[in-house]
Amino acid sequence: MKQVNLENKYKRCGWIFVAPAAILILIFSFYPMLRAFILSLQSGLGNNLRFTGLKNYIRLFQDGLFLSSVKNVFIYLIFQVPIMLLLALILASILNKPDLKYKGLFRTMVFLPCATALVSSALIFKSFFAVDGIVNTYLMGMNILTSPINWLGHPIWAKVVIILVITWRWTGYNTIFYLAGFQNIDSSIYEAARIDGASETQQFFRITIPLLKPVILLTAIMSTNGTLQLFDEVKNLTAGGPGNATMTISNYIYDLSFKYNPQFGYAAAVSYSILIMVAILSFIQMKVGDSK
């Protein structure tokens, strides 16, 4: 009887510690999500809100600007996420070498871009890729270019610059996850593989990748989620231009809410489209990446 009472006491103590965070999550996360869903089924403003059902969701498939923003986001996703995760995996592999000197310094340097303010990093890259910026100056000085390129004013090059900025900023973040995964792999496994004559390449693909599979899956899902919600870099670099060529879904939600004639109901429906896409892609990644 005493043991049962003690277990109940521990459970009550656990709920006391968890309750404040759970209440805050309900108030500041789940309640706004519920309100946003209700708003997505309505049109109008203020006291003139009226229920329109799935009209806003049907409008998504007829909205060329929304479809264009979805296409842009998936271009960033297809090119940027694999490159970033591969670079992060390579960097983590190098930083995990036991004979590497100044590990702390290199790890700080790799992670530092992630700690840089979003606006600051975007403005720095904007100055680098300006028509009279340092990139054009060096490329023309090396006779690679005969005339400067308007990087941020070209539909394709602007996307390339955004992919470069995102990769520069978030590669170090994923590197930390992979580095933690590397350090959880028993070194005796690699020693046994070396004794059996396995090369470093074989060790990487036959030992490292399979054992890091859960971490790779986690970073892939987080990176997909982050890319689908991409906002700051595009807003500060190109503001969605030129001609909406770099517009993302989050930029479109911002414009619908604060730039155009406010359409909060439709903006809420667009935001829920991101949730649906994240859920579908995460489900696919879980099925493909995890056999358990």
- Could you report the per-residue pLDDT of 132-188, keeping only the tens digit for each? 989 999 999 998 888 899 999 999 999 999 999 999 999 999 999 999 888 888 878
Q: Is the pLDDT reported for residue 278 higher than 60?
A: yes
Closest CA to 275 of 222, 232, 241, 229: 229
Closest CA to 248 of 77, 17, 41: 77
Count of alpha carbons within 13 angstroms of residue 44, beta-carbon side? 10
Residue 30 lies in a domain: no
**What is the distance between the alpha carbons of residues 259 and 219, in angstroms, rounded to a whole number?**
33
- Determine the structural domain holding residue 106 and report its residue range: 63-289
The pLDDT value given to residue 286 = 80
Whether residue 58 is contained in a domain is answered as: no
Q: 119 lies in a domain?
A: yes
What is the pLDDT at residue 204? 81
Task: Using DSSP bridges, classify how beta strands 42-43 and 50-51 pair: parallel, antiparallel or unpaired.
Answer: antiparallel
Check if the beta carbon of residue 273 is closer than 8 Å to that of residue 36: no
Q: What is the pLDDT of residue 4?
A: 55
- In the three-class reduction of DSSP (H, G, I as helix; E, B as strand; rest coil), residue 51 is classed as strand
Please check the confidence at residue 217 and state whether its pLDDT lies above 80.
yes
Residue 95 belongs to some domain of the structure: yes
Q: What is the CATH number of the domain that holds 118?
A: 1.10.3720.10
Closest CA to 274 of 262, 282, 285, 286: 282
> Is residue 154 in some structural domain?
yes
pLDDT of residue 290: 60
Question: CB–CB of 85/220 below 8 Å?
Answer: yes
Task: Calculate the dihedral angle through the C-alpha atoms of 63, 70, 158, 81, rounding to the nearest 10 degrees.
Answer: 180
d(C-alpha 33, C-alpha 44), whole Å? 19
Tell which wins on pLDDT, 204 or 142: 142
83 within some domain: yes
Q: Is 134 part of any domain?
A: yes
Among 70-74, 119-123, 193-197, 272-276, the range of highest mean pLDDT: 70-74
Closest CA to 95 of 171, 168, 206, 164: 171
In a domain, 9, yes or no: no
Q: What is the mean predicted confidence (pLDDT) over 43-69?
A: 88
| Tens digits of residue pLDDT in 227-260 | 999 998 899 899 888 888 999 999 999 999 888 7
| Environment class of 217 (CB within 10 Å of its CB; exposed 0-12, middle 13-18, buried 19+) | middle
Domains held by the chain: number: 1
